[in-house]
C-alpha cells in the first residue's frame, strides 16, 4: 500500500497486467477510444502498439516518493489505492475496489455528494464525491464513477491524458444533469492520477 517502498513486479503480475489490457482492448468502448486516438494522431492504428502504449500509461512503474525505488503506477494509484507513509490515502477512485474493501471491513463510508434534493445515493447516481476512511486513514473527498466498467474509465482518462501535454489537465463535460471535471495528472509518459469531480447537478453547484 505504501509509496516510498520499491516494488518488484513478478512474471505472474506482468502476465495479469497484459491479460487485462488484452481483454479491455477487445471491448467496444476501447475500440472507439482507439479509433478516436488514431484519428487525432495520438495512437498507432496497430493494436500491439496501442497495447504497449496503454501499458506504459497505466502500468509502467515510476517513483512517486523521492528517495525510494519505483513504487507506483497509474493503475495501482487510481484503481487500487495507496498510502503515503501510512499517514495519507492516495488515489482509490474506483468503485469496484471501494466495494471490495468495504465488503472486507477495510473501508468506513462517511458520506457523499451527488444530485441535489436527495438523502441517499440510488441507481441513477453514476458520479459521487465520497468521504471515507481506509484502514484507519481518512480521505476527506474522493471523486468516483459508480457502476461503470474499468474499460470505460481507462478509455476516458487515456483520451484526456493523450490529448494534453499539461502536467494537470481538467476537462469540463456535461453528462445528463451532471457537470463534471475530468482530472488527469501526469508523471512523464504515465498517468499519476485520474478521477471525476462532480461540479454540479440539476444546474446547482455542489
Of 86, 113, 126, 139, which one is the catalytic site residue? Answer: 139
Instruction: For residue 74, give the 3-state DSSP assignment.
Output: helix
The answer to whether the CB of 93 falls within 8 A of the CB of 141 is no
Is 63 labeled as catalytic in the residue annotation?
A: no
Of 11, 34, 52, 93, which one is the catalytic site residue? Answer: 93
The residues that bridge with 172 in the sheet, in sequence order, are: 181
Q: Distance from CA of residue 80 to its chain's centroid?
A: 9
Of 34, 77, 126, 197, which one is the catalytic site residue? Answer: 77
Cell of 149: 466498467
β-pair type (88-90, 82-84): antiparallel
Is 93 labeled as catalytic in the residue annotation?
A: yes
Longest dimension (CA), the chain: 50
The answer to whether the CB of 153 falls within 8 A of the CB of 24 is no
- Residues acting as catalytic residues: 77, 93, 139
Amino acid at each position: 500500500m505504501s509509496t516510498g517502498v520499491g516494488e518488484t513486479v513478478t512474471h505472474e503480475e506482468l502476465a495479469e497486467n497484459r491479460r487485462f489490457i488484452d481483454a479491455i482492448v477487445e471491448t467496444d468502448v476501447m475500440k472507439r477510444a482507439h479509433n478516436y486516438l488514431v484519428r487525432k494522431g495520438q495512437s498507432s492504428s496497430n493494436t500491439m502498439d496501442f497495447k504497449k502504449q496503454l501499458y506504459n500509461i497505466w502500468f509502467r512503474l515510476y517513483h512517486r516518493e523521492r528517495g525510494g525505488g519505483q513504487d507506483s503506477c497509474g493503475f495501482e494509484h487510481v484503481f487500487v489505492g495507496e498510502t503515503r507513509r501510512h499517514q495519507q490515502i492516495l488515489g482509490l477512485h474506483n468503485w469496484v475496489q471501494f466495494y471490495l474493501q468495504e465488503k472486507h471491513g477495510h473501508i468506513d463510508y462517511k458520506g457523499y455528494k451527488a444530485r441535489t434534493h436527495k438523502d441517499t445515493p440510488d441507481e441513477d447516481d453514476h458520479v459521487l464525491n465520497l468521504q471515507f476512511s481506509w484502514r484507519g486513514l481518512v480521505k476527506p473527498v474522493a471523486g468516483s464513477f459508480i457502476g461503470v466498467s474499468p474499460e470505460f474509465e481507462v478509455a476516458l482518462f487515456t483520451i484526456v491524458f493523450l490529448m494534453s501535454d499539461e502536467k494537470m489537465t481538467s476537462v469540463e463535460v456535461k453528462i445528463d444533469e451532471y457537470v463534471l471535471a475530468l482530472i488527469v495528472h501526469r508523471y512523464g509518459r504515465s498517468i499519476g492520477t485520474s478521477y471525476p469531480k462532480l461540479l454540479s447537478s440539476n444546474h446547482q453547484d455542489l
